[in-house]
Amino acid sequence: MKNDIHPTYFPEAKIICACGKVYTTGSTREEIRIELCSACHPFFTGKQKLVDTARRVEKFQERLTNKATVATGKKVKAAKRAVKKAEKMASEEKESQ
């Protein structure tokens, strides 16, 4: 077995979460920073928390609202045509009376 090939082991390594919770464990790194832990993760807390990296969640919500307000497609166009046709028939009926 070779000597001096293993990294140094820190038995009191600190794991620091973004929420402020600090854990102590053994690791080859002296300090580890994490974004989520069991104290702030939605699975363990039951609360929804969106961790937004590079505005991905906001961009998705913007696209979703834009898509809902600006609806296009065959079904939408057909519905518009049907409404116009119904209005035209109603106006012709009024004129014939």
Which residue range forms the structural domain that includes residue 7? Answer: 1-51
pLDDT band, residue 14 (cuts 50/70/90) = very high
| pLDDT tens, residue by residue, 29-81 | 999 999 888 888 877 777 776 666 677 878 888 888 877 666 667 877 888 88
CA angle, 15 then 17 then 18, to 5°? 150
Q: DSSP letter for 19, please.
A: T
pLDDT at 23 over 70: yes
Is 43 in the same domain as 58? no
Asked if residue 23 lies in contact with residue 39, where contact means CB atoms within 8 angstroms, the answer is no
Is 35 in the same domain as 18? yes
In this structure, what CATH number is given to the domain that contains residue 23? 4.10.80.400
- Which positions ≥6 away from 13 have C-beta within 8 Å? 24, 25, 26, 27, 29, 30, 31, 32
* Backbone region of residue 94 per phi and psi (left: phi > 0; alpha: psi in -120 to 50; beta: other values): alpha
Is 44 in the same domain as 59? no
In the chain, DSSP finds a helix count (H) and a strand count (E) of 3, 3
Is 46 in the same domain as 4? yes
pLDDT at 2: 83
pLDDT at 70: 63
